[in-house]
Structure 1
Amino acid sequence: MSNRLENKVAIVTGGGAGIGEAISKLFAREGARVIVAGLPEDPVDDVAADIRATGGAALPFKGDLSTLQAAKDCVKTATNEYGRLDILINNAGTFVETNMLEDFTEEGFDYMVKNNIRTSFAMSKAALPELQKAKGNIVFAGSEAGVLGVPQNAPYGGTKGFVIAFAKGLAGEQAAHGVRVNIVGPGPIDTAWTHKETGPMDKQMEKMNNQANLMGRRGSVEEIANVYLFLASEEASYVTGALYMVDGGITIGKGPIGDQAAKSFKQEPQPSLDLDHSMDGHTTIRE
């Protein structure tokens, strides 16, 4: 299949790196005109130039998208240059540190709230008038952490839990306007975030991320971008308010996290009831 987003205009926040770069380039390859949006220090110029060099249409936008003014300016860039806005990909976010909560920094918490929550709020608010005109859609970046929580970064999971609930509420509101809203929930993905050399994870967390899912590896950024493409396309015309987990099975995996449990957790309490049938049960179908 090709040209699945032909004549569509998309904004991809956090579009300069990681999953965002893959989304930007895949959407452009499928015919979309893309605004590659990010912070001033993000490589959005490079990604937009790469897209144009391969025959696609893309422009960079730099700004702090957690502010409503920058979000409005980003949307205006899309409408001024391409005449419309069909798709908003709320991909921008950050994973800044790993610490138990008692050691988690206030700065790290505030930074995640700003980039994971406020950016999603501001961009959605700014884009909705145009998306309503186009009967377009929004796809948010959730996370398996927003469903399960994540040890040593409880605030990150909390921000993603907000995003998931916010997006579902927005789907309910926007149905009256013909705007679909969905969420992608990645698991551990092969980006700088999940390598000890380039992100906040240590060697032990890296190992556990790979062992705790059914596939025994990180996902690739292209594997995630493919799901964004489906949800943003007309192929998902009957999908709204949905959370698509793209996590290698980590949400149902029985990984080795119990190895890290305190000894007091591993020891069963002494029974206080006189039980004779605790090991009985219908383990096969019986007449």
Structure 2
Amino acid sequence: MKRRLEGKVAIVTGGGAGIGEAICKRFAQEGAAVVVVGLDTDPVREVVDDIQARGGRAIGFLGDISRQEAAEECVKLALHDFGKLDILINNAGVFPATAELDKYPVEAFEYMIKHNIYSVFMMSRAALPHLQKSRGNIVSAGSEAGQMGSPMITPYGGTKAWVMTFSRGLAVEQAKHGVRVNCVGPGPIDTAWTHKETGPMDSKMEKNTVNGVPMGRRGTPEEVANVYLFLASDEASYVTGATYFVDGGVTLSKSLSGEEVPAHLKKEPTDGLHLQHEKDGHTKVKSEYQAKMQ
């Protein structure tokens, strides 16, 4: 049976950790050659090595793809090593702070604009000429917060709303070139972002985030990667301008309905992708970038 991405070449930004690691490994499983993209401090090399050790094809690219030069270099690397580009996954993003808006750190807001918005714009712009040749597609990371808005992370939700609206406009614009553009909107996923020990949430926010999920649990990175796989594959050939929420029903919920779910239904499915970096997400303004933002 032919694998769903056999012969395809994909760039996955933010591919070294969390959902990005799962996307890279799921795509490689399904036959894609993957460019794993991350910042210098991300475990990109480990993800590439693990994919290659399991018989997949992958290379790494380290750089700040919110910068035009780095985005263009990333695309050039994919073309140089694999000869073409079929899929761009704009997964890179940051979640550096939680606070009411009058106390929200300005540097955290600027950091999100850079890594949640500029990166999507720059990578999409650099990739489009080549996706037009291959009649490829783009899938970007939205969020349930971009659909509903969320207190204490209002600026984050705003950046994700931008990505979702940008993707809809781009889908209409690029349809005449045979390029599809879609979004995935994760809800609370079992990564560094949704645990108080590894992200900016306090214990109350973490508890309410999980209890607000009708299914009563966090999703797994692999569950999100499976939806990316569908949208990036030819199975979704008539899907463009869509946002697929992978949120356990959060966008439909108006209460802490997850509290009513029995314990045996809250158990996460077993991870089949050998993920090692799901808790290594981008949850603070990295010190080496603070000076560059001044």
Instruction: State if a TM-score over 0.5 links the two structures.
Output: yes
Partner of 1:6: 6
Q: Alignment identity in percent?
A: 64
Q: Does residue 235 in structure 1 map to residue 227 in structure 2?
A: no
Counterpart check, 1:137 vs 2:125: no
Describe the shift of the 1:2–1:211 C-alpha distance in structure 2 as closer, same or farther (beyond 3 A). Answer: farther
Deviation at 1:253, TM superposition (A): 1.1
Q: Residue 68 of structure 2 aligns with which residue?
A: 68
1:2 offset after TM fit, Å? 5.6
The one-letter amino acid of 2:188's match is: P
Structure 1 SS opposite 2:238: coil
Aligned to 2:195: 195
Deviations 1:82-105 (A, max 9, x none): 000000000000000000001001
Match of 1:260 in 2: none
| Rounded Cα–Cα distance in structure 2 between residues aligned with 1:162 and 1:154 | 13
| Structure 1 residues 15-30: aligned runs within 5 Å | 15-30=15-30
CA distance in 1, matches of 2:66, 2:41: 15
Contact 1:213 1:254 in 2 (8 A): no
Distance 1:59 1:105 in 2: 36
* Counterpart residue type for residue 211 of structure 1: N
Q: Kindly report which structure 2 residues correspond to 1:29-68, keeping only aligned pairs within 5 A, or say none.
A: 29-68=29-68
- The 8 Å contact of residues 148 and 251 in structure 1, kept in 2 or not, is answered as yes
CA distance in 1, matches of 2:24, 2:188: 20
Structure 2 counterpart of 1:208, one-letter code: N
Aligned to 2:110: 110
Write the distance in 1 (CA, Å) between the matches of 2:212 and 2:252. 9
Instruction: Give the equivalent residue in structure 2 for 1:160.
Output: 160
Q: CA separation in 2, counterparts of 1:240 and 1:137?
A: 9
Assess if the C-alpha contact under 8 Å between 2:48 and 2:59 holds in 1. Answer: yes
Task: Return the letter of the residue paired with 1:7.
Answer: G
Is the 8 Å Cα contact of residues 13 and 37 (structure 1) preserved in structure 2? yes
**Preserved CA contact (<8 Å) 2:213 2:256:** no
Residue 88 of structure 2 aligns with an amino acid whose one-letter code is L
Q: Is the 8 A contact 1:188 1:247 kept in 2?
A: yes
Partner of 1:224: 224
Q: Does residue 213 of structure 2 align to residue 213 of structure 1? A: yes
Q: Does 1:146 align with 2:140?
A: no
Write the distance in 1 (CA, Å) between the matches of 2:252 and 2:2.
33
- Unmatched segments (≥5 aa) in structure 1: 258-287
Higher RCO structure, 1 or 2 (CA under 8 Å, sep 6+): 2
| Counterpart Cα distance in 2 of 1:76 and 1:35 | 11
User: How many angstroms apart in 2 are the aligned matches of 1:254 and 1:218?
Assistant: 17
Which residue does 2:265 correspond to in 1? Answer: none
Q: Given residue 207 of structure 1, which amino acid in structure 2 is its aligned partner? A: K
Query: Once the 2 structures are TM-superposed, how far is the Cα of residue 3 of structure 1 from its aligned partner?
Result: 1.1
Query: What is the TM-score when the length of structure 1 is the normalising length?
Result: 0.88
Question: 1:254, 1:125 → 2: CA distance?
Answer: 38
Aligned to 2:128, the other structure's residue is in SS state: helix
CA distance in 2 between counterparts of 1:95 and 1:36 reads: 20
Give the secondary-structure state (helix, strand or coil) at the position aligned to 2:93. Answer: coil
What secondary structure, in the 3-state scheme, does the structure 2 residue paired with 1:251 have?
Answer: helix
Which residue matches 1:175?
A: 175
CA distance in 1, matches of 2:245, 2:64: 28
Q: CA deviation at 1:254?
A: 2.3
Cα distance in 2 for partners of 1:63, 1:57 equals 20
- In the alignment, which residue of structure 2 is the partner of 1:275? none
1: CA distance, partners of 2:180 / 2:169: 11
Q: Aligned pair count? A: 257
Contact 1:71 1:126 in 2 (8 A): yes
Taking structure 2 as the reference length, the TM-score comes to: 0.86
What displacement does 1:256 show? 3.5
**Hey, what's the Cα distance between the residues in 2 that align with 1:37 and 1:131?**
18
Q: Report the 3-state secondary structure (helix = DSSP H, G, I; strand = E; otherwise coil) of the residue aligned with 2:217.
A: coil
- The amino acid that maps onto 1:40 is D
Q: Is the 8 A contact 2:214 2:256 kept in 1?
A: no
